[in-house]
Amino acid sequence: MPRVALTTLGCKVNQFETETMEGLFKKRNYEIVDFDEHADFYIINTCSVTHLGEKKSRQLIRRAMRLNPQAIIAVTGCYSQIAPDQVSEIEGVKVIVGTKERHKIVELVERAAKEEGVINAITDIMKAKEFEDIPLFQSPGRTRAFLKIQEGCTNFCTYCIIPYARGPLRSRRLESIKKEAEKLVEGEFKEIVLTGIHLGAYGRDLEDNINLVDAVKTVLSIQGLKRLRLGSLESIELSPELLELFTLDNRFCSHLHLPLQAGQNDILKAMNRHYTVAEYRELINHVFEKVPNIAISTDIIVGFPGETEELFEQSLNFVRTMNFSKMHVFPYSKRKGTPAASYPNQVDEHEKKERVHRMQLLADEKAQEFHKTFVGKTVQVLFETKHNEVTDGLTDNYIRVYVDSDSVHTGEIYKVYLEKIYKDGLWGKRIVE
């Protein structure tokens, strides 16, 4: 039985796509092994959001070569889509697949095993018209399952390479979403997370004015579903109808990830973000009015070209006034082919690193402030992982909760009383009824 190892860099969408490719190999009776094991085929699903993502991709290719110099190495994902010539020059690479044609991955690696040279299966992603619907064959044994329902992005933020790597908007049809979600519920997954590259744009390419609300309602209609969560969503695409669903169905998790990216209007404009800090604040305040216990997490980029110390301080001050539950802080990464790469006043790398540190300290402070408001409350927790004598999981509003392992089992939802701040979340005690 041939052995294949798959690994993923980057976002939740990439993770989902790797799972679908793993399923294609399982259907052909391949043995799936860990990436650090000897295998006949290595599949590396890459990321190109930052230079670090591309660097890690190259490191994984070299690691696969060391594990088995005779193996067929296939590189797929965003890095191979935007830089196929660069990837083809890396020693050991035999197959290059971008962000399309992954349904052919098994055929391509099998062909590469019989032929000399490099097989380049990259196509023009900007001409893609249909969502690449690869059904899940079998999901790995986890408590949460990611379900990709949308592909492509048309935001064209000036710092971002993703629209060029993922192409135009393509949406999964509702009947396919329901079929896949039903499969996940039957597989006893307790939570489904809807993901996409530009999730809020779901349905714009489909007929009958279908939108994200329709996708959410479709999944919520499935009997036996315990939880539904949304992936990252642009704030300006949070419709009143979608927000209303949080108040109508308690299975719809009270958590929204709404990227801010910068807390200063001049920088937001230079980024081609279509809102002001005042508009963002007004929206968040409205969300909290409608759903009081909701968690709002966000992304922040620091060191964008033209960001002076004064502008960075303004961004810090804005974030201080916001009730974020979690912040992902990134240094600006110069991406060739994006408008911001040629902007003047690029920020020094040392300065970016220092600003990341300051923003991250604030992020940690805001997270602890948010967590403290839940001490003394009782919540429902879906437990996921066990380490020694401690098991942890997530509340519906994305707070990580830790308890003694003897009191719970992973993959189950329990009522927990939250006692104190602990690590990156809270320590609790299971309530036995």
Distance CA 121, CA 129 (A): 17
Extract the tokens encoding 104: 């052919």
- Contact indicator for 51, 86 with CB cutoff of 8 Å: no
Establish how many alpha carbons lie within 13 A of residue 55's alpha carbon, considering only the half-sphere containing its beta carbon: 4
Question: Where is pLDDT greater, at 54 or 251?
Answer: 251
Query: CA nearest 71: which of 101, 102, 33, 17?
Result: 33
Strands 3-8 and 31-33 come out as parallel
- Contact indicator for 36, 66 with CB cutoff of 8 Å: no
Distance CA 102, CA 17 (A): 9
- Contact indicator for 202, 226 with CB cutoff of 8 Å: no
User: What is the pLDDT at residue 135?
Assistant: 82
What are 179-214's pLDDT values in tens digits?
Answer: 999 999 998 999 999 999 999 999 999 988 999 999
User: What is the pLDDT at residue 143?
Assistant: 86
Distance CA 227, CA 104 (A): 33
Hey, what CATH topology would domain 3-123 get?
Rossmann fold (3.40.50)
User: What is the pLDDT at residue 170?
Assistant: 97
The CATH class for the domain spanning 126-253 reads: alpha beta
pLDDT band at 141 (very low <50, low <70, confident <90, very high): low
Q: Within 133-208, where are the H helices?
A: 162-166, 174-186
Of all residues in the chain, the percent with pLDDT exceeding 90 is 92
User: What is the pLDDT at residue 53?
Assistant: 85
Distance CA 263, CA 9 (A): 28
Q: What is the mean pLDDT of residues 357-368?
A: 98
pLDDT band at 139 (very low <50, low <70, confident <90, very high): low
User: What is the pLDDT at residue 140?
Assistant: 55
Q: Do domains 126-253 and 261-373 have the same CATH topology?
A: yes
Query: CA nearest 385: which of 397, 402, 371?
Result: 402
Q: Which residue type occupies 293?
A: N
Checking if the pLDDT of 433 tops 90, the result is no
- Contact indicator for 147, 184 with CB cutoff of 8 Å: yes
User: What is the pLDDT at residue 385?
Assistant: 94
Distance CA 405, CA 168 (A): 46
Domain 261-373: which CATH number of 3.40.50.150, 3.30.750.200, 3.40.50.300, 3.30.1330.90: 3.30.750.200
Hey, what CATH topology would domain 378-430 get?
OB fold (Dihydrolipoamide Acetyltransferase, E2P) (2.40.50)
Of all residues in the chain, the percent with pLDDT exceeding 70 is 99
Distance linking the first and last C-alpha atoms of the chain: 49
What are 4-52's pLDDT values in tens digits?
Answer: 999 999 888 999 999 999 999 999 999 999 999 999 999 999 998 888 8
Tokens 């909290």, residue located: 288
Query: CA nearest 263: which of 215, 315, 218?
Result: 315
Q: What is the mean pLDDT of residues 347-364?
A: 98
> Rounded mean pLDDT of the chain?
95
Instruction: Provide the edge-to-edge strand list for the sheet that holds 170-171.
Output: 170-171, 144-151, 191-196, 227-230
User: What is the pLDDT at residue 138?
Assistant: 64
Lowest mean pLDDT among 46-50, 140-144, 240-244, 396-400: 140-144
- Contact indicator for 257, 297 with CB cutoff of 8 Å: yes
What residue spans define the domains of the chain?
3-123, 126-253, 261-373, 378-430
**DSSP β-bridge partners for residue 324:** none
User: What is the pLDDT at residue 51?
Assistant: 81
Instruction: Provide the edge-to-edge strand list for the sheet that holds 255-257.
Output: 255-257, 295-302, 326-331
SS3 10: coil
What are 275-312's pLDDT values in tens digits?
Answer: 999 999 999 999 999 999 999 999 999 999 999 999 99
CA dihedral sign of residues 308, 310, 313, 315:
negative
**DSSP β-bridge partners for residue 194:** 147, 230
Q: What is the mean pLDDT of residues 378-386?
A: 96
What are 313-327's pLDDT values in tens digits?
Answer: 999 999 999 999 999
- Contact indicator for 196, 202 with CB cutoff of 8 Å: yes
Distances (CA, A) of 41 to 31, 34, 62, 71, 107: 10, 11, 14, 5, 12
SS3 119: strand
Chain centroid to CA 317: 27
User: What is the pLDDT at residue 355?
Assistant: 98
Q: What is the mean pLDDT of residues 408-428?
A: 97
- Contact indicator for 84, 96 with CB cutoff of 8 Å: yes
Helix axes 277-290, 240-248, angle to 10 degrees: 30
Tokens 């609790």, residue located: 428
User: What is the pLDDT at residue 137?
Assistant: 76
